[in-house]
Structure 1
Amino acid sequence: MVRMTMACNCSPVQQKTLSPKFKKALWIALIINLAMFLIEVFGGMYANSSALWADALDFAGDSMNYAISLAVIGMSLYWRATVALLKGWTMLLFGIFVLVKAGYAYSQGIVPEAITMGTIGVAALVANVVVALILYAFREGDSNMQSVWLCSRNDAIGNIAVIFAAFGVFGTGSMYPDLIVALIMAGLGISSGYTVITNASAERRQSKLLNSCEKA
């Protein structure tokens, strides 16, 4: 019994996710991301840009993440961490997919249209900066909240990279700036996914420990 008491040095887990402000922030983020997904899908098709397509897929993934986060608000730490774990794997796999997409674009050798890239990149940057500012206050929450913040941060960084890529394509007439941005976004997805997976796994273990403490 003494051993159980020592193992169960349990402290309450903050339920910041229950905040109505967080729920409102998620709804705003979801609407913005869905809109930008549609814009970048058609813009990427028009401009033949791997970076815009990668960013469009990222917007789609983020929309799914925000929708899932809304669905698990109010659930236990274990289920929030489980959803965050799935989102972490989604982010990581997305990064791998972008690597494959960049390789395919390289094999095709099509130079993207720079003006469209830059215009949509600026619009996407404004949208993601707004989302990132809205979600900034929740960056220190549980793994589910952290994954939401990382998504918005990665998007803003990716959009800045897309704008620089557009300038690079315009100035050089080469597809390489576009491919470099796709690789940067892939790296962000893989590293952020790993972070979320690690933290979510730890929270799942903590939740199981808390449950064992309660039963004891």
Structure 2
Amino acid sequence: MEDINQETVHRHDAGCDGHGHHHHDGMHIHPVANNMKVALALNVSFTIIEFFGGLFTNSVAIISDAIHDLGDSLAIASALVLEKESERGRTATFTYGKRRFSTLAALITSLILVVGSVVITINAIPRFFHPEEVHVQGVLWLAILGLLFNGAAVLRLKKGNKSSLNQKAVMLHLMEDALGWIAVLIGGIVMYFTGWYWIDPLLSLGIAAFILFNAVKNISNGLSIFLQAKPQGIDEGKLLNELLAIPHVSDIHDLHIWTMDGEKHILTSHIVVPADSDITLMRRVREEVLQKLKSLNIQHPTIQIETSMETCRFTNC
């Protein structure tokens, strides 16, 4: 029985070296990275303009958006670093690679955004009850400029590798920013015609609430990943039922599922087959299990085949 278990591990590792798929994707890394560099440069440039523009227009909504865009710049920068690091793959020290560096960066960024949203709220609440005059024309021009900058960044990213999850995530960040600027533009138009300057701190509070909601959600997701919780979107009961439906699989135990970064999922398990199974049958069962796991979005499975006559050596089986 030791032979089949050893060969199972060997085949699995060979398949993983089938990081052939990942190495092939590496050909797209440089265009993706270049597109993200352009998006980062646009975002950082406009974030600086926003901070000074917010001070010039006396608009807390603009300054709030600047803090939001600063968080997005940090997110784009961390995603860019991940694109470069992912090309290097595993090392003797980081045997799973450095994919969790992106999760760590997301946690740090989210904590910064939580602090930023609290600062925004503290400054906006007094302005809501005691509105101050806002340079509305400046707000309108900044909103239009914001739409142009974000639109240019989104268009640049849309030209790149459409299979890059990092690039898609960054593009969603920038599309959210564009929607925020539409809200600021509408608010600016209302202030221009009515003089209702309380709209500015109201927009600021709305932006702060949006930032806080997403930051807390990201912190929760990041902590779940580091604590090796079951990945979102994986139904363990359904997974077990589908594996048990494979012919000759009589039991499954010592099942563990976790994720490296919310995208690459890992599974280890013991698969039990009838006592009279020969090596050929065990290999066939193993291949069917691996194919099923692949269809269920498990990218890195490690399984051990056992017969019903064997006793699991682990206490938590």
TM-score (norm 1): 0.76
CA distances 1:83-114 after superposition (whole Å, capped 9, x unpaired): 22222333344333322231143355312111
**How many angstroms apart in 2 are the aligned matches of 1:112 and 1:140?**
44
Alignment-derived partner of residue 196 in structure 1: 218
CA distances 1:151-208 after superposition (whole Å, capped 9, x unpaired): 3132111111110111111111121221221122112212222343344344442229
State the 1:145 CA deviation.
Answer: 5.6
**How many angstroms apart in 1 are the aligned matches of 2:71 and 2:101?**
20
Unaligned runs of 5+ in 2: 9-14, 87-97, 229-258, 269-300, 305-317
**How many angstroms apart in 1 are the aligned matches of 2:167 and 2:135?**
36
167, 172, 182: which one aligns with 2:194: 172
User: What letter is aligned with 1:184?
Assistant: G
State the 1:44 CA deviation.
Answer: 1.4
Are residues 39 and 95 of structure 1, via their aligned partners in 2, closer, same or farther at CA, if it must alter by over 3 Å? Answer: same
State the 1:138 CA deviation.
Answer: 7.8
Are residues 101 and 39 of structure 1, via their aligned partners in 2, closer, same or farther at CA, if it must alter by over 3 Å? Answer: same
Alignment-derived partner of residue 77 in structure 2: 67
Equivalent residues in 2 for 1:114-153 (5 A)?
114-135=136-157, 148-153=170-175
Are residues 147 and 94 of structure 1, via their aligned partners in 2, closer, same or farther at CA, if it must alter by over 3 Å? Answer: farther
Q: Which one is further off, 82-91 or 26-35?
A: 82-91
Secondary structure class of the residue paired with 2:141:
helix
**How many angstroms apart in 2 are the aligned matches of 1:27 and 1:156?**
19
Alignment-derived partner of residue 127 in structure 2: 105
State the 1:125 CA deviation.
Answer: 1.1
CA contact 2:103–2:222 (8 Å) conserved in 1: yes
CA contact 1:49–1:117 (8 Å) conserved in 2: yes
Mapped pair 1:207 → 2:229? no
Q: Which one is further off, 64-73 or 19-28?
A: 64-73
Alignment-derived partner of residue 203 in structure 2: 181
TM-score (norm 2): 0.55
User: What letter is aligned with 2:76?
Assistant: Y
State the 1:66 CA deviation.
Answer: 2.2
Alignment-derived partner of residue 80 in structure 1: 102
CA contact 1:146–1:196 (8 Å) conserved in 2: no
CA contact 2:31–2:161 (8 Å) conserved in 1: no
Unaligned runs of 5+ in 1: 6-10
Larger RCO (CA under 8 A, 6+ residues apart)? 1
RMSD of aligned alpha carbons: 3.6
Bigger fraction of residues in helix: 1
State the 1:61 CA deviation.
Answer: 2.6
Secondary structure class of the residue paired with 1:79:
helix
Are residues 104 and 23 of structure 1, via their aligned partners in 2, closer, same or farther at CA, if it must alter by over 3 Å? Answer: farther
CA contact 2:128–2:202 (8 Å) conserved in 1: no
**How many angstroms apart in 2 are the aligned matches of 1:81 and 1:46?**
36
CA contact 2:140–2:185 (8 Å) conserved in 1: yes
158, 167, 172: which one aligns with 2:180: 158
User: What letter is aligned with 1:26?
Assistant: M
Bigger fraction of residues in strand: 2
User: Structure 1 vs Structure 2: percent identity of aligned residues?
Assistant: 20
CA contact 2:154–2:171 (8 Å) conserved in 1: yes
**How many angstroms apart in 2 are the aligned matches of 1:118 and 1:185?**
17
State the 1:211 CA deviation.
Answer: 9.6
| Structure (1 or 2) with the larger CA radius of gyration | 2
